[in-house]
Structure 1
């Protein structure tokens, strides 16, 4: 064990400046959700340069590097996402002040991706034999309305073979095994429209929408697990003296339990059906689904997570955040696969253009990523 820790320490010290240089390069490449092709191609070439023999970009724009997946049925996935929340198509701004690096998406999730890549480099350059197949994935579409499409594609292609899953995402101390699932909708209501005085009495789309919102807020959410709902945006109408012809809102419900999400889905569909049956012109378009936790061996998940936390604590001495989050791990957890989302960087202001990371935390993050991967080295 001491020998392993020394190997990790030596490797991290030797490659720290390389990691920072990679971070400064990768962090300037734009990568909006659904448009990660530039980062995906960069990662594909980078993996090949490190000695990988099996690298490709799939239909979802995931850059995938495989090790020994042709030798074993079982696969472990190490993933970090390439996309950021901003729509920039040109080079991203970046500045460094002392040991702080500022850039959009630099912590969420670029620095975590760099820690994954630099840890993967150790195995690629040393040709380390593994005890099961390994997928290193720079995945797409984790953020917002990306709807976890990149991770979904991995499970579409390898789902039956994946036994463990690690997502490097968020800030250091995070190790979650509880997903927050969500269903998101765009709901539109059509009315008659007309002049507010001459056509008074005709159906007003905003008025109907208000009634619909009230009906949705009268739904009793299940209490088995924390379940919430929210109308986050409404728009409609044109002028103060016009009866609105259309109103639109964005609505979501969330829970860590897929069972609770399914109950909310039934309730939602019933409310919409009631309004339609009453002659109201209502349409509901689903914008995205992030599943909650499905049926799984809870005791096994707990013990496996505790093992990972014990590894994290060898390098990080702060409190561990085990709170629920919505991450790529939602997908495996919804399918009963062991999964953790683990933060490997210290930083702040996520989802702001001024997001920053502490470069002094890079060695710790690289060490955590490496130590987690070392669990899968084939013993002599």
Structure 2
């Protein structure tokens, strides 16, 4: 991340506008070759400035600070409920109970165990989603007990994304206690299946045919108050398995060997993908896991690998995927051509992950509002590409961003993950301001 030469706040810009000398506020957008500067339209600067100074909003800001002890307890409680991939039900039930207690008009779990808490708006003509994800990357049996050293909380999943869950919950509490009514309906969501092989299944279900109408989407993931993800990093993930009869390394010599095919497939794919990814929009590939075989003196009956490919360009992602498919078929053909006896080798190519790519332009009101809010809070807005739950609505053209929950943290996806409440209330203010700007405050 590159620092801007001069940070701006909304107060500075408002003053400059009145003086007729305003320079546009700029946000950084990480591009492939350089960092672009994206201007924030003064309409959204003025909108956020007016919204942030309304008495009810100022009251909610104070409520967020008053609620910090409760928010901390909610974070500890939820973190200590294990929520491994595909086993989020216990945490979902606890989160739903907290949403009911916070004052949502209706709370339910859908068919895949997403938690949905609806807060009705005055007109209800549109629906805005504020979401964090329920799952963590850690398998069942992981010690998720929260330990505190000084002001820092340590536990697997404490930041990613349990802090996001508690931030969304506390924003709901703040709106209720400050008696703030929105014009649009708001759905507060705890989503399943964001991590790994969960493959965004919770949000894919939200956007299923005949699912709820969603007009804007605000995902809460990560920490801080600067980052704004408005570009979806797509990915294809495969588990590829070569299978043969298997046999004794001497007695069955001459039959097909799945390891030989797997080795060829990896070599052909990585050589071609290396050339393909040296130009154009950043596109990546990785053979992450391989396995198979039973003994040093046995020809294996199967050999498998798991492959990850990523790009924010659907075309480039499809291109590197095509190279993988070709490499696998070439390896299969060549290994079968080498056999001296027995049946042919077979291959199974199973897609285990499909995250779509996409982009919401920085000129879209939701992105502009998110930038303006960061700047109002005296943070430098930075636009990013990322792989989050927002990939699904982004790919469908629904205005969407992913923003942090405030505070600071580190060690995500590790047993030493930590989160520190360093002005964490600013993250709550940020979520609320972006939400109210998008949903509208009822008169």
The alignment's TM-score, normalised by the length of structure 2, stands at 0.78
Which residue of structure 1 aligns with residue 259 of structure 2? 206
Q: Offset at 1:50?
A: 2.1
Matching residue within 189, 194, 206 for 2:242? 189
Task: Count matched residues.
Answer: 376
Which residue of structure 2 aligns with residue 3 of structure 1? 54
Q: Offset at 1:157?
A: 6.1
RMSD: 2.4
Q: Offset at 1:224?
A: 4.2
The alpha-carbon distance between structure 1 residues 42 and 90, as it changes in their structure 2 partners (threshold 3 A), is: farther
Which residue of structure 2 aligns with residue 281 of structure 1? 346
- 2:385 pairs with 1:324: yes
Which residue of structure 1 aligns with residue 420 of structure 2? 358
The alpha-carbon distance between structure 1 residues 171 and 378, as it changes in their structure 2 partners (threshold 3 A), is: closer
Which residue of structure 2 aligns with residue 314 of structure 1? 376
8 Å CA contact retained: 1:76, 1:162: yes
Which residue of structure 1 aligns with residue 188 of structure 2? 136
Whole-angstrom CA distance in 1 between matches of 2:222 and 2:95 = 20
8 Å CA contact retained: 2:63, 2:177: no
5+ long unaligned stretches in structure 1:
none
8 Å CA contact retained: 1:112, 1:169: yes
Matching residue within 239, 246, 260 for 2:316? 260
- 2:165 pairs with 1:165: no
8 Å CA contact retained: 1:51, 1:125: no
The alpha-carbon distance between structure 1 residues 157 and 125, as it changes in their structure 2 partners (threshold 3 A), is: farther
What is the SS of the residue equivalent to 1:171?
A: coil
8 Å CA contact retained: 2:229, 2:403: yes
The alignment's TM-score, normalised by the length of structure 1, stands at 0.90
Which residue of structure 2 aligns with residue 235 of structure 1? 291
8 Å CA contact retained: 1:215, 1:271: yes
What is the SS of the residue equivalent to 1:323?
A: strand
What is the SS of the residue equivalent to 1:78?
A: strand
Matching residue within 211, 215, 218 for 2:268? 215
The alpha-carbon distance between structure 1 residues 125 and 155, as it changes in their structure 2 partners (threshold 3 A), is: farther
Q: Offset at 1:97?
A: 1.3
Q: Offset at 1:69?
A: 6.9
Which residue of structure 2 aligns with residue 33 of structure 1? 85
The alpha-carbon distance between structure 1 residues 157 and 33, as it changes in their structure 2 partners (threshold 3 A), is: farther
Deviations 1:135-168 (A, max 9, x none): 1101111111111111111111676732211110
What is the SS of the residue equivalent to 1:41?
A: helix
8 Å CA contact retained: 1:192, 1:205: no
Whole-angstrom CA distance in 1 between matches of 2:107 and 2:141 = 25
Max radius of gyration: which structure?
2
Deviations 1:83-133 (A, max 9, x none): 111123587211111110111100001112111110011233455332222
Whole-angstrom CA distance in 2 between matches of 1:157 and 1:102 = 40
5+ long unaligned stretches in structure 2:
1-49, 337-344
Task: Using the TM superposition, name which of 352-361 and 95-104 deviates more.
Answer: 352-361
8 Å CA contact retained: 2:243, 2:258: yes
